Amino acid sequence: MAKDMPQGVGAGAAGTATARPRASGWARILGWAGQRARLIAPLVTLLGLVVFFSLTTDSFFTTRNLWNGILSQYAVVAVAAAGTTFVLLCAEIDLSIAAVSLLIGVLSAYFWITPVFGIDFGTWGVLIGLIAAALIGYANGFFAAYIRIPSFMMTLAMSTIALGLAVWVTQGKPIFKVPGLLRTLGGTGSKIGPVPVPVIVAAVVLLVADIVLSYTKFGRYVYMTGGNREAAEMSGVNTRRVVALCLMISGLTAGMAGMLNVGKLNGANPQPSNELLIFTIASVVLGGTSLFGGEGGIKNTLIGVLIFGCLRNGLNQVEGISIYIKQAVEGFFLVGALLLNVVALRLERIRTQAE
């Protein structure tokens, strides 16, 4: 049968020897190009911001500001963003991040001070909070994947439910007693050496998420489900389970973020705010992960969170910007960063639409 292909594929050792190195040379570059642009463009943005703020302010590039102003401040966002990355990678969305984190934060404080059904949970309340977070996330996932309510709507509805529950549990009043564990994990003051503990927590969460996404079967299923859901299904991947689990992970990390936040603020206030939701999704997308699924990853998310953190932190320190215009300036920077991502992908990606 061996068809002697001139460029030597199956047969012909000589053909293989000559064609192979050339083919892999260019093809490797091409193959990785798309992915690299996805990582390089945000990295350039990040470096640009760091250089810019270092030159324009005295206070930006100081050990203190880097650790406490940026890394420690945005650790909460990083934790939530790790889970959100899973959701965006499989081409879904989670709009309940902020509300779930609020509810779980409130719950963990509530369990600390109030016995439920006569049981004083104490620090175990933290564990119960995590389980509750995963369950809420799974509920999102179940309705989105199996019942086919679009995740956009489902998580929006869940957001309202979670907010309502948070207000109901606390009767609208803030709780000022917080488990010591959370103060240790989330508190800005708690440090190991020069490293704030929340930063370590965030690093661990990101690392675990990266390992799951890059080196496990489930992780690969997430990418493939986002890349082409139908094709994944036709390859024997249980895509509905993948989607449900991704939303569960997102719920879990949102809950963790909520607890860290409670530890940081040393109190739980059932005040609705969508800041965390916007920060999180903005960070993931700034990092280059596609909103349409299948492309990106935790490395992108890490860079995205840093871009977002540097931008907000840096702008605060630039003198001569009126606080009234600051927000608009921030928006312009965001558009600029996104533009760079898009342009880089355009340059790298040869149109392959119709084929």
Partner 1 sequence: MQRDDAGLTPIPPSPSHDPPAAGALLALRGVTKRFGGATALDGVDFELMPGEIHGLLGENGAGKSTLMKILSGFQAPDEGEMTLRGEQVRFSSPAEAKARGIGMVYQELSTIGALSVAENVFLGDQPTTRGGIINWKRMNAAADAQLRELGVQVDVTSRLSALPLGLQQMVEIARVVFSGADVVILDEPTSALSVRESERLFTSMRELRARGTSLIFISHFLEDVLAVADRVTILKNARKVATLPAAGLTKQRLIEMMIGRDASTLAASYQEGVTLPPPVEAPPVLEIEGLSIPGAVRDASLTVRAGEIVGLFGFLGSGMTEIARALFGQLQPHAGVIRLDGRPVQIHSSTQAKRLGIAYLSENRRATLFPRQEIYKNMTLAHLDRLVPPLFRKRSELGIAEQMVKRTGVRPPNPHLLAGYLSGGNQQKVVLGRWLTRQPKLLILNEPTRGMDVGAKREVLDLIKGLKAEGVAVLLLSAEPETVMTEADRILVMSKGRVTKEFAGERVSKDLLMAHA
* Chain contacts with partner 1 (rule: CB under 8 A): 1, 3-7, 9-10, 19-20, 22-34, 211, 214-217, 220-221, 223-224, 227-228, 230-238, 294-295, 350-355
Query: CB-wise, 3 or 64, nearer to partner 1?
Result: 3
Q: Report in angstroms the alpha-carbon separations of 271 from 103, 105, 187, 244, 304.
A: 10, 11, 20, 28, 27
In the complex, least distance from residue 214 CB atom to partner 1, rounded to whole angstroms: 8
Phi-psi category of residue 201: left, alpha or beta, with phi > 0 → left and psi -120 to 50 → alpha: alpha
Residue 353 binds: one of partner 1, ligand ATP, none (C-beta under 5 to 8 A by kind): partner 1
Ranges of H-type helices in 90-196: 97-113, 124-145, 151-170, 180-186
Which residue among 192, 352, 353, 354 contacts ligand ATP (CB under 6 A)? 352
Closer Cβ to ligand ATP, 63 or 352, answer by number: 352
Number of residues that bind ligand ATP (CB under 6 A): 4
What, of partner 1, ligand ATP, none, does residue 4 touch, CB below 5 to 8 Å by kind?
A: partner 1
Q: Give the nearest distance from C-beta 31 to partner 1 in angstroms.
A: 4
Binding to ligand ATP (CB under 6 A) within 28-87 occurs at: 30
- The count of residues in the chain is 355
147 binds, among ligand ATP, partner 1, none (CB under 5 to 8 A by kind): none
- Name the segment binding ligand ATP (CB under 6 A); options: 7-15, 127-135, 189-197, 347-355: 347-355
The nearest distance, CB 355 to ligand ATP, in angstroms, is 6
Instruction: Tell me the CA distances in angstroms from 81 to 197, 214, 348, one per residue in order.
Output: 18, 16, 26
Give the distance from CA 354 to its chain's centroid. Answer: 32
Backbone torsion region of residue 172, taken as left when φ is above 0, otherwise alpha when ψ lies between -120 and 50, otherwise beta: left
User: Which residue lies nearer to partner 1 by CB, 8 or 48?
Assistant: 8
Is 350 an interacting residue with respect to ligand ATP (CB under 6 A)? yes
What phi and psi, each to the nearest 5 degrees, are found at residue 193?
A: 65, -135
Report the Cα 67 to chain-centroid distance in Å: 20
User: What are the tokens at 12?
Assistant: 């012909």
Question: Contact at 8 Å (CB) between 212 and 85?
Answer: no
Cβ proximity to partner 1, 10 vs 331, nearer residue? 10
**Could you list the residues that contact ligand ATP (CB under 6 A)?**
30, 350, 352, 355
